[in-house]
Amino acid sequence: MIHFDISRTKSSSHRSGLVRVSSRLSKELGEAARPVALLQPGIGPSGAAKQFQPKGDDWWLTAELFCEAECPGMWNFIRERHCRLAAVFHDAIPLKLPHITWPQSVARQPEYMKMLAEFDRVFAVSEASRRELIDFWRWQGVEPRATVETLALGADFAGQPRVGWVPETRRAVLLCVGILEPRKNQAFLLDVCERLWRENLAFDLHLVGRVNPHFGKPVLAKIKAMQKTWRCLHYHEAVDDDTMARLYGEVRASVFPTIAEGCGLPLLESLWQGVPCVCSDLPVLRENADGGGCLVVPPTELQPWCDALRRVLTDPTSYAELARQATNRPLPVWAETAKSLINRLV
């Protein structure tokens, strides 16, 4: 039996990548896994484990984050080994970029990654994340019990059928999806777009994402200031999956100027909708971008980004080829992700 933990994501109103992973896995695991809430405030992991009474050869699988301060008794639960333990590991970004990461995440991350070493299986969402976790253990002198493998995440973000064809005459509209914060690099994207607008290149830009309460307010202020001049700039703080699908159906390309990712779900989800993606040239993104349908651009370099966006907006031949690649290349789906987990948790 697989006991899949949904302690926090079950009640989350946010549509972050972590929530997406937990919610889609929970749905696709279906009857093969039993939803449980192990990380309950005031109960503690060991107490919760006694409530769902796992057997020694069962698995507790989680895609959530935790540490002893947030989940008192977590170390005891791991060492008591009520059952076998497996986790989905997302990234080490709080360690790499602590100055622009939520303080709570920065405080949690080192202990969380040490706890994962005591698990039986860890599934990293990319090869880049897998290497980061192993390198962290080596740096800390940790001898891991866990084996670490990669896990391909699904591109079908809400379970809609894949878009198999897009018209070559799509409107000049760009879409950027991600929480407003320095890591997602929307402020830089706005500088790129403003230069192109001042060159009289006509297109719209839609930004979708909630505001990081610690670091996102300057980005939101920049958006509001620019909207006074550029009516082609649109911001959506929160949209449901149907609205996201509608937006993807109206745009010519997605843009993903991020400076750090664990996997890069917006890139995969864009391709699922038949929408080419212009993204940062990061090793983690190239794991998926190199399969086709993407333009990779050096991060934070203004002129290459201007050239790439101008190309997808004005070069019909180039755009048609990118769209062809996006709609014809193989893409992973969440059902396959869940099946892969079930097959490996034996």
Pairing of strands 84-89, 121-124: parallel
Spatial contact of 288 and 155, defined as CB atoms under 8 Å apart:
no
pLDDT average, residue stretch 11-17: 65
- Structure tokens that stand for 219 in this block: 């980005």
- Structure tokens that stand for 308 in this block: 């790439």
Spatial contact of 110 and 247, defined as CB atoms under 8 Å apart:
no
Confidence tier at 11 by pLDDT (50, 70, 90) = low
Domains of the chain: 2-154+333-344 (3.40.50.2000), 173-328 (3.40.50.2000)
The span from the CA of 77 to the CA of 182, in Å, is 36
The span from the CA of 38 to the CA of 103, in Å, is 24
pLDDT average, residue stretch 322-333: 96
Spatial contact of 268 and 288, defined as CB atoms under 8 Å apart:
yes
pLDDT at 296 over 80: yes
* DSSP per-residue string spanning 255-322: EE--S--SS-HHHHHHHHTT--EEEE--HHHHHHHTTSSEEEE-TT-HHHHHHHHHHHHH-HHHHHHH
The span from the CA of 20 to the CA of 269, in Å, is 11
- What is the per-residue pLDDT across 224-265, written as a single tens digit (0 to 9) for each? 999 999 999 999 998 888 899 899 999 999 999 999 999 999
Pairing of strands 147-150, 173-177: unpaired
- What is the per-residue pLDDT across 38-69, written as a single tens digit (0 to 9) for each? 876 666 777 777 777 888 899 999 999 999 99
* pLDDT, greater one: 301 or 170: 301
Q: At what angle do helices 186-198 and 217-227 cross, to 10 degrees?
A: 20
Helix (H/G/I), strand (E/B), else coil: 249: coil
- Structure tokens that stand for 19 in this block: 């929530």
pLDDT at 262: 96
Q: How does 193-224 read in b/e, with b if 16+ C-beta sit within 10 Å?
A: bbebbeeeeebbbbbbbbbbeebbeebbebbe
Beta bridge partners of 62: 87
Q: At what angle do helices 127-140 and 103-116 cross, to 10 degrees?
A: 80
102-116, 133-147, 152-166, 207-221: the lowest-pLDDT one? 152-166
pLDDT at 46: 73
pLDDT average, residue stretch 95-115: 96
List the strands of the sheet with 253-256, edge to edge. 233-236, 204-208, 173-177, 253-256, 277-280, 294-297
